Amino acid sequence: MEPIDGWGLRGDGFERWPPRQALNSIFERQRCCGEATVVEVTARQHPPCFTATVGEDDARVDLIFLGRNAVPGIAVGSRLRFAGTAGRSGGRLRILNPRYCFVEGR
């Protein structure tokens, strides 16, 4: 059975993504989907936590991968599509363990 909200997987294995939105239109406590370039990465060892900050114009969103101190392929300059529920901490928008994929040719 197909999910009706557009956030699941189809039977053919290709992910279905909701419409992308600009980073400055992402609000906390709402599901969101965006596409942007990684402008900064940081890693913490104890407890493991990898953060990729994506940016577009003057808007920034932290994509936080809990339990990992690296995510293969994610580096400054990488272009990502991401989805998840945004929250706010320390005045910054953050998405914990987002869905993501690499976007090429942009």
Is residue 52 within 8 A of residue 97, CB to CB? The reply is no
Q: Which long-range contacts (CB under 8 A, 24 or more apart) does 20-24 make?
A: 20/81, 22/56, 22/59, 23/54, 23/55, 23/56, 23/57, 23/59, 23/60, 23/61, 24/56, 24/57, 24/58, 24/59
User: Is there a domain that residue 48 lies in?
Assistant: yes
Q: Could you tell me the pTM of the whole model?
A: 0.84
On whether residue 67 sits in a domain, the answer given is yes
According to DSSP, residue 15 is labeled: B
Let me know if residue 7 belongs to a domain. Answer: no
Range of the domain at 95: 28-102
Residue 39 lies in a domain: yes
| Residue 1 included in any domain | no
Q: Which residue has the tokens 């969101």?
A: 32
Residue 75 located in a structural domain: yes
Query: For residue 30, what are its two tokens?
Result: 């709402």
**Ranges in the chain, pLDDT < 50:** 1-4, 9-14
Secondary structure element (H or E) that encloses residue 51, with its range: strand 49-56
pLDDT of residue 106: 52
Q: What is the CATH number of the domain that holds 38?
A: 2.40.50.140
**Total tally of structural domains belonging to the chain:** 1
Residue 88 lies in a domain: yes
Contact between 34 and 20 under an 8 Å Cβ cutoff? The reply is yes
Model pLDDT, residue 37 = 96
Residue 10 included in any domain: no
